[in-house]
């Protein structure tokens, strides 16, 4: 699952550490999501989308094998 967390953080001028604190995860978790190595839970995805004022589908892109 791809995402635009890094881009959204840059727009809002938020560090990985700051975002991690806002959603109660580690900075490493944010880093892993940005590297597409970790798929967040639905709750975490919703929290992140809310911080950026976007819909989940605008931040997280589900890749299909089609």
In this prediction, residue 1 has a pLDDT band, given cuts at 50, 70 and 90, of confident
Distance CA 60, CA 47 (A): 12
CB under 8 Å to 60, separation ≥6 — which residues? Answer: 1, 2, 3, 40, 45, 49
Tens digits of residue pLDDT in 5-63: 999 999 999 999 999 999 999 999 999 999 999 999 999 999 999 999 999 999 999 88
Judge whether 26 and 38 are in contact, CB under 8 Å: no
Distance CA 37, CA 46 (A): 18
Domains and CATH numbers, the chain: 2-61 (1.10.260.40)
Residue 66 has pLDDT above 80, yes or no: no
Supply the pLDDT for residue 62: 87
């Amino acid at each position: 699952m791809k995402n635009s967390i890094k881009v959204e953080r840059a727009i809002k001028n938020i560090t990985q550490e700051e975002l991690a604190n806002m959603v109660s995860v580690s900075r490493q978790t944010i880093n892993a999501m940005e590297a597409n190595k970790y798929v967040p839970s639905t709750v975490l995805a919703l929290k992140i989308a809310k911080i950026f004022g976007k819909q989940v589908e605008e931040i997280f892109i589900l890749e299909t094998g089609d």
